[in-house]
């Protein structure tokens, strides 16, 4: 059975989008930074990229309900990216929200999920479905689709894209000039179909214009590689790990991570509009050097911090 899930909706409006950084640390959390997790809120959906230890508490600190989460995308099975899953699922299961959470991850995810829950004395009600990703586009609905690309981290590791689909918007002045009323005819034009109005053919390309969909790229743990560049191609926001500075380039190479300069090179080569750095080693107490290093290569850089929110 295909991993591609297709959903339907009639809502053509661009939905509000917000990115919340729940955890921005590397392998070890600090007083200021929790383990990795990023929530993309899109309308009623909450797409969680990784779920480090303490993620459900971070959601509450950031003013978000754990039940906001509808999908969990697991980049890889290192503990700092997944230890928060059991607690979050348990909290959602105990809520009044009747919801099945879809969990997506690399090959082996089903096995690891089974191992994780066998460690508890009492099995909770299963409120999740696990999908192992086997193709680039693994989910699609009317409004957006999700992609995964393999990264270079020594174990199976995926980066993710959230890509909002292009949509047609009515050219109001053109429609008013023709006198076409509100109703089903405008819906057909928005679907890209030509219509008949007063014995004339009105083409969708004349009566509408295309609004480009937004793209959010999430580059998890990896060495700088061609696939990471492909993943972040033309991203509106590129979220990238940045575990080290060039001072510790040897450690980045040893553990297959990126430096701030690597992440900036990635953004530059990918043609991304904005770069958000995250996944920082605990060794860096002052972050000015990290930001400065990245900005020598790519100017539009921000450093993420826990509970940082970005509205699009």
Q: Give residue-wise pLDDT tens across range 217-249.
A: 999 999 999 999 999 999 999 999 999 999 999
Question: Could you write out the DSSP letters of every residue in 226-271?
Answer: HHHHHHTTT-SEEEEE--B-GGGHHHHHHHT--BHHHHHHHHHHHT
Joined tokens for residue 188: 């057909």
pLDDT of amino acid 9: 34
Please identify which residue in the block is written with the tokens 């059975």: 1
**Cβ neighbours of 109 (radius 10 Å):** 20
Q: Give residue-wise pLDDT tens across range 27-71.
A: 999 999 999 999 999 999 999 999 999 999 999 999 999 999 999
Q: Are 152 and 223 in contact (CB under 8 A)?
A: yes
Q: Using the predicted structure, report yes or no on whether residue 285 has a pLDDT greater than 90.
A: no
pTM greater than the 0.85 cutoff: yes
Q: Using the predicted structure, report yes or no on whether residue 154 has a pLDDT greater than 90.
A: yes
Helix residue ranges, H only, 24-135: 55-61, 85-93, 109-118
What gap in Å lies between CA 53 and CA 77, rounded to an integer? 13
In the three-class reduction of DSSP (H, G, I as helix; E, B as strand; rest coil), residue 92 is classed as: helix
Domain positions in the chain are 16-166+212-311, 168-210
Catalytic residues: 80
What gap in Å lies between CA 261 and CA 242, rounded to an integer? 8
Q: Using the predicted structure, report yes or no on whether residue 214 has a pLDDT greater than 90.
A: yes
Q: Are 84 and 55 in contact (CB under 8 A)?
A: yes
| Higher-scoring residue by pLDDT: 151, 8 | 151
Which one-letter DSSP state was computed for residue 107? T
In the three-class reduction of DSSP (H, G, I as helix; E, B as strand; rest coil), residue 214 is classed as: coil
Q: What percent of the chain has pLDDT over 90?
A: 89
Mean pLDDT along residues 150-164: 98
Average pLDDT, whole number, for the chain? 93
16-166+212-311: what fold?
A: Metallo-beta-lactamase; Chain A (3.60.15)
Q: Looking at 35-44, 94-103, 302-311, which range is the least confident one?
A: 94-103
Q: What does the CA dihedral 180, 186, 188, 189 come to, rounded to 10 degrees?
A: 80
**Cβ neighbours of 62 (radius 10 Å):** 15
Please identify which residue in the block is written with the tokens 């699609």: 140
pLDDT of amino acid 11: 39
Per-residue pLDDT band at 123 (split at 50, 70, 90): low
Longest dimension (CA), the chain: 72
């Amino acid at each position: 059975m295909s991993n591609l899930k297709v959903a339907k909706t009639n809502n053509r409006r661009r939905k509000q989008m917000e990115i919340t950084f729940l955890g921005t640390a590397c392998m070890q959390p600090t007083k200021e930074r929790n383990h990795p997790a990023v929530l993309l809120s899109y309308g009623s959906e909450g797409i969680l990229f990784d779920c480090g230890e303490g993620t459900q508490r971070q959601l509450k600190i950031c003013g978000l309900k754990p039940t906001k989460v509808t999908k969990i995308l697991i980049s890889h099975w290192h503990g700092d990216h997944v230890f928060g899953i059991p607690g979050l699922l348990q909290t959602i299961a105990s809520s009044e929200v009747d919801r099945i959470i879809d969990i997506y991850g690399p090959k082996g995810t089903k096995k690891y999920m089974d191992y994780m829950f066998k460690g508890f004395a009492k099995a909770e009600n299963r409120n999740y479905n696990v999908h192992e990703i086997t193709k680039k586009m693994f989910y699609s609905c009317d409004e957006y689709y999700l992609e995964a690309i393999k990264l270079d981290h020594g174990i199976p590791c995926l980066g993710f894209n959230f890509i909002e689909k292009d949509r047609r918007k009515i050219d109001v002045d053109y429609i008013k000039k023709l006198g076409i009323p509100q109703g089903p005819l405008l819906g057909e034009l928005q679907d890209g179909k030509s219509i008949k109005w007063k014995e004339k053919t009105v083409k969708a390309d004349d009566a509408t214009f295309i609004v480009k969909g937004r793209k959010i790229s999430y580059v998890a743990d990896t060495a700088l590689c061609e696939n990471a560049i492909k993943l972040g191609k033309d991203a509106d926001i590129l979220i990238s790990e940045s575990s080290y500075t060039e001072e510790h380039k040897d450690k980045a190479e040893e553990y297959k991570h990126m430096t701030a300069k690597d992440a900036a090179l990635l953004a530059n080569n990918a043609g991304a509009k904005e770069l958000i750095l995250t996944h920082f080693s605990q060794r860096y107490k002052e972050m000015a050097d990290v930001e400065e290093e990245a900005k020598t290569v790519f100017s539009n850089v921000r450093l993420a911090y826990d509970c940082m929110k970005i509205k699009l």
